Amino acid sequence: MKEQNKKIVITGIGALTPIGIGKDEFWSGMMDGKSGAGMITHFDATDFNTRFACELKNFNVADFIDAKSARRMDPFCQYGVAAADMAIKDSGVDLKSLDLTRFGVVYGSGIGGMGTYDTQFRTYMSGGPTRVNPFFIPMLIPDIAAGQISMRYGLMGPNYATVSACATSLHAIIDAYMILKLGYADYMICGGSEAPVTQMGVAGFNATRALSTRNDEPEKASRPYDKDRDGFVMGEGAGALLLETLESAQARGAHIYGELAGVGFSADAHHLTAPHPEGKGATVAMKMAMNDAGISPEEIDYVNTHGTSTPLGDLAEVKAIKSLFGQHASKINISSTKSMVGHLLGAAGAVESVACLLAIENQTVPPTINIDNLDPEIDVDVTPNQPKKREVNYVLNNGFGFGGHNATLIFKKI
């Protein structure tokens, strides 16, 4: 174990989102206030209560993975490998010159290979156990994206997955940060991916009454902070970050998107699926992250919220922000990029971290779209419908998961 006062920075990012493949398309889509929602095409959703989702569009797996390897990966794994490939290439790191035993991966998924499970269960029911694909388990398990990323590049450092529902990829980033701080690696790929738009995925979330059923206007269904919000919109995709020390990045002349200045995590210890109504667990995570960063609430410029578009969740998070930030809550911008890309479950935090870093890069806060009638209980600046140019030095990013898992990151402009 080594010194823990190293500064950890992000030098590579990758994003596959329903509004754009790659960081440039993703940013452009956010600046245009684009909605990624549409009617489901992955299967016939006629009999479902929710018939729309934010599907990943224009993804060509052949751009990233050979055909044989792709056949042995669930889509969530394909997305993860592609996002990691983007981040590594974006970082400009020369893998051939590195000690790859010092290059690790922490990459998660909240659900894993749900599509593979659906397909193979039907195969089992129609043909019996001998018809199940021998790659069924290796395609299904949530850790396999981390394994595939390591095998693709020969990365022999710390390697595992996090699974904490919708906080999954923020926890992956937190773990990567701590691994670097403690000196167990020099470079880390981290993030998460998800491909939950399947029959059982949609049916399951419909059963929990968590999904919007605005089937007549899918592009307007994800509407955090609007008084007519009725649930989240399921999304799919992936996000990846390459982390290293500031010293390393400066030595090789890398482009630095920002510093990961602080992290926090907590539990609500309250309910299976509902957040604490006053956001007590969220407050603990945010306070911990600011303490880790050594900053006060008054230094935060922008909060990228969990903001799922659920009646309880949106209000609880805003209550936590107001409780913690006090009068400064009126001076920050908050926004939910889920209004555009939907809720990517275990991948949400990583994709939103990319949005935070691009907000710092462009000194612009992405909007919360689809706010037609702001909930009167939401009395903060939610950056409605249009992006906002402003000084962005510190960004706080929240992610919360079923089971009461809370995670917060703070990114800092370098």
Catalytic residue among 54, 166, 190, 356: 166
In the annotation, is 166 catalytic? Answer: yes
Close Cβ partners of 223 (under 8 Å, ≥ 6 residues apart): 229, 309, 339, 369, 370, 371, 372
How many other CB atoms sit within 10 Å of the CB of residue 97? Answer: 7
Return d(Cα 226, Cα 52) in angstroms, integer: 19
Return d(Cα 414, Cα 394) in angstroms, integer: 10
Provide the residue count of the chain.
Answer: 414
* Pair 14, 240: CB distance under 8 Å: yes
**CA 191 to chain centroid:** 7
- Residue among 396, 408, 398 nearest 360 (CA): 396
Burial of residue 152 (CB within 10 Å: 0-12, 13-18, 19+) is middle
Classified as helix, coil or strand, 394 is strand
Find the farthest-apart pair of alpha carbons in the chain and give their distance in angstroms, rounded: 64
**CA 51 to chain centroid:** 23
Torsion of CA 290, 166, 368, 17, to 10 degrees: 120
- Residue among 77, 82, 79 nearest 135 (CA): 77
Catalytic residue positions? 166
